[in-house]
Amino acid sequence: MKKDIWVLMEPGQADGYRESSLALLHPCRALADTLGGTLTAVALFGGDVAKGAAIAGAYGADRLLLADREALDPAAALASLAEKEHPWAILAVSACETREYLPRACARMGTGFAADCSGFALDAKADCLVWTRPAFGGSVLCDVVCPVRRPQIGTVRSGIYQQRSIPRALPAAVSRFTPAQGDSPRVRVFRLLRNLAEDGIDLENADIIVAGGKGVGGTQGFRPLRELAAALGGAVGASRSAVDRGWISGSHQIGQTGHTVAPKLYIACGISGAIQHLTGMLGSGTIVAVNVDPNAAIFQYSDYSVVGDLFEVLPALTREILRH
């Protein structure tokens, strides 16, 4: 049986695709190679043929399935398309749009749905994907499988994977289709807006993040974090505890109920290391933790651990960076 992998491409800025959708193509490229199948990017909402093929090919897709007009009911369109082509698995980024139409598409196809996952892996012996997702408020991680029905369908949180283009890649082969319209949809997306932090920075695409937790002590406690972030050219993030206390807006929240990020450098300041927060930032390249508690759980996951007062450590680090 041929085991093709589909990745749903969510529309982004300037008639392109969302960065997180492109990032998801990279691990799926490896999965398709292992299975000996084709990696297909699926654009249910139409778009420019030449541009879509070039972008999809640059990020690893063999093929682009492109709607010749916008799918007014993406659930019906996807179900109809999958019933004709029988993909082995369908993956998408967890977003407002996919949360709305993918469960309906799964119901039409009679298959399961693994939502809002933090990752996935192939279980070759069981011949299925193992989806990992937070449960019970982020206190535990559980594995979800769909052992019988196909296609296996799931969404992966934005920021888990990073974009990786393929040098000198050829454009993806294009197959056009007319989407099935189904019933009149109750929800329709007219315009996509980026969920930016109040300083205008897109946290999920930031290369450097300085994040604060309960240890910052209050609204003014974020001042040294902002100064360090400015010196590094980065963004300011926060744990849920800091947001819940009203010290910073929810647009900065990182964790299971906030943004999932994967910067090159993540500096956690006064953050204890609860699983709710960890699930949102463990994909970071280098993790630096600053905490007065030598037994803080965050130190188990950090590449560099600084036991000290953030109000002494951060200003000294900022001065040293500005000096050079």
pTM: 0.67
Annotated binding residue 75: no
**What would the two tokens of residue 218 be?**
């209050």
Close Cβ partners of 300 (under 8 Å, ≥ 6 residues apart) = 273
Annotated binding residue 324: no
Regarding beta strands 89-93 and 113-117, do their DSSP bridges make them parallel or antiparallel, or are they unpaired? unpaired
The tokens 């933790």 sit on which residue? 289
* Mean pLDDT, range 245-258, rounded to an integer: 88
- CATH number of this structure's domain 203-323, picked from the four choices 3.30.499.10, 3.40.50.1220, 3.40.1440.10, 3.40.50.720: 3.40.50.1220
Annotated binding residue 273: yes
Contact 313, 189 (CB under 8 A): no
Annotated binding residue 250: no
Regarding beta strands 119-123 and 128-135, do their DSSP bridges make them parallel or antiparallel, or are they unpaired? antiparallel
- CATH number of this structure's domain 5-177, picked from the four choices 3.20.20.100, 3.40.50.2000, 1.20.1090.10, 3.40.50.620: 3.40.50.620
Annotated binding residue 275: yes
Highest-confidence range of 26-30, 64-68, 303-307, by mean pLDDT? 303-307
Annotated binding residue 86: no
Annotated binding residue 240: yes
Cα–Cα distance measured from residue 243 to residue 226, given in angstroms and rounded to the nearest whole number:
15
Please state which of the ranges 112-126, 155-169, 189-203, 247-261 shows the lowest mean pLDDT.
189-203
Name the residue ranges covered by the structural domains of the chain. Answer: 5-177, 203-323
Annotated binding residue 237: no
Annotated binding residue 20: no
Q: Is the pLDDT of residue 193 over 80?
A: no
Cα–Cα distance measured from residue 119 to residue 104, given in angstroms and rounded to the nearest whole number:
22
Annotated binding residue 297: no
